[in-house]
Structure 1
Amino acid sequence: MNATTYETLLVEERDDRVVVTLHRPDARNAISGRMIAELHDVCDELERRPKLLLLTGHGRVFAGGADIAELLERGRDEALQGINSRLFERVRRLPMPTVAAVDGWALGGGAELAYACDLRIAGPDAVFGNPEPGLGILAAAGACWRLPELVGESVAKQVLLAGRNLDAQAALAAGLVIDVVPVEKLLDEAHALLDRMARSSATALRLTKLVVDSPGAHPVADDLAQAVLFEGEDKKDRMTRFLEKRSRA
């Protein structure tokens, strides 16, 4: 990946992860068609060469929503294309775990992009909300079904129907975020979370995510994934080290 090729993203590639920063500072990082296309490019790379993903926003805001000027011009045909929803579902299905580090506003499409990540960690000023009905539309890029899965039907309806915004502490209480940390430590803590995952078997992480995201396929999916892992050298090495360490204790 080459960060100079992107207009709306800052992309940093490391050995075991990719850090993507939404970067439209003049528009509160609003999700435009250009940003969608560039995020698809990132997904292309992560599907070809799976790595962990850290997604965050520039300038004390995650994403203030979709680009309203673009939404105004979209009609039925564009809605049926699922421009945002297809991308967010692709993010959801990336092979390796994804983390959204959210500070400031994550509204509308910005919130839905955060919901599509496997985990979210928040700064103290994070705010999640879906005000789409106030604009005459619905949160059609995953929030209407993904948010109830994340926080339960009651809280989801408070957000989606009653226009409630979830601040950082409310998001933590609802289980939407894993932790709330000081803003100056947000990226460090997000990387620490990725570090913990990176110490696990990459194959085990991929298969665990695949099984968790496959409702209705159990227990067959569990058995098939476990069968693959049981035959791997990584499993044998890790369990042998565990038993040797315990025997020395």
Structure 2
Amino acid sequence: MTEFTTLEVDDRGDRVVVTLNRPAQRNAINAEMIAELHTVCARIEADPKLLLLTGNGDHFAGGADIGQLRARTRDDALAGINRTLFDRIGRLPLPTVAAVSGFALGGGAELSYACDIRVATTTAKFGNPEPGLGIMAAAGASYRLPQLVGTSVAKQVLLGGRILDADSALRAGLVIDVVEPGTHVAAAHQLLDRIALSAPLALRLTKAIVDAPGSHPFADDIAQAVLFETEDKHDRMTAFLEKKK
């Protein structure tokens, strides 16, 4: 898709592979990348597919573009430029996987937090050093990271400046697996291959229910009622029973 300049976008039928493509800047997230990611989201919303998000080169994303960030004003902050995008990624209908190598810092970390699952290499480092630059991690880290790793670890990262290496991220539950550098995209594809075997509507409703705040047993019942009436459910259970025979 040649219209993108900060991304490489590969539509593979059941999934879209998006590679952040500013390797000389450690894939720093600038305004153009934000706009292009919004375009990708619009396409996935219109035609729901799985998403694999990764970075070109040694790093996932070293943060937001500091030159642009320095120029932002109060009105820019109130517009939630990065947060709006990351929230949109978080709301995509089907599962999303981030394949992270090297730095996932600042806005890059928050972008990875917006994905449903993360695969990391042994070189991965997650952190939010924004207070050292006089700002806060305001693109979702304050509410996503505590949900992902617990409040204590989140405060260590957001307030204490802790950088989570791959092993720490695995122990904290931030990542599903740690693999060798150069194999993380293949590992993410293997995970998506497994996910793709499931019923798309079941995945979509499960994600919506899990992401909904609070306790919602009646919503679970309604979602299950919808799934019980699908032809896909009947066919899959029939195939299972016949295979068991």
TM-score (norm 1): 0.97
Contact 2:23 2:59 (8 Å CA) reproduced: no
Partner amino acid, structure 2, of 1:184: G
SS, match of residue 174 in structure 2: coil
Moved over 3 A (4+): none
**Distance across 2 between alignment mates of 1:217 and 1:50:** 26
Name 1:169's counterpart in structure 2. 167
CA RMSD of aligned residues (A): 0.7
SS, match of residue 70 in structure 2: helix
Partner amino acid, structure 1, of 2:237: M
SS, match of residue 4 in structure 1: coil
Query: Of residues 44, 47, 52 in structure 2, which corresponds to 1:46?
Result: 44
**Distance across 1 between alignment mates of 2:184 and 2:69:** 31
Tell me whether 1:222 sits opposite 2:220 in the alignment.
yes
Query: Of residues 217, 238, 241 in structure 2, which corresponds to 1:240?
Result: 238
Shift of 1:217: 5.5
| Percentage of matched positions with identical amino acids | 67
Shift of 1:229: 0.4
Matched ranges for 1:177-192 at <5 A:
177-192=175-190
SS, match of residue 55 in structure 1: strand
Q: Deviations over 1:113-159 (max 9, x none)?
A: 00000000001100000000000000000001110000001100000
Shift of 1:216: 2.5
Unaligned runs of 5+ in 1: none
Shift of 1:224: 1.1
Shift of 1:27: 1.0
Number of paired residues?
A: 245
**Distance across 1 between alignment mates of 2:53 and 2:216:** 30
**Distance across 2 between alignment mates of 1:123 and 1:60:** 10
**Distance across 2 between alignment mates of 1:20 and 1:238:** 31
Matched ranges for 1:111-190 at <5 A:
111-190=109-188
**Distance across 1 between alignment mates of 2:187 and 2:23:** 24
Name 2:194's counterpart in structure 1. 196
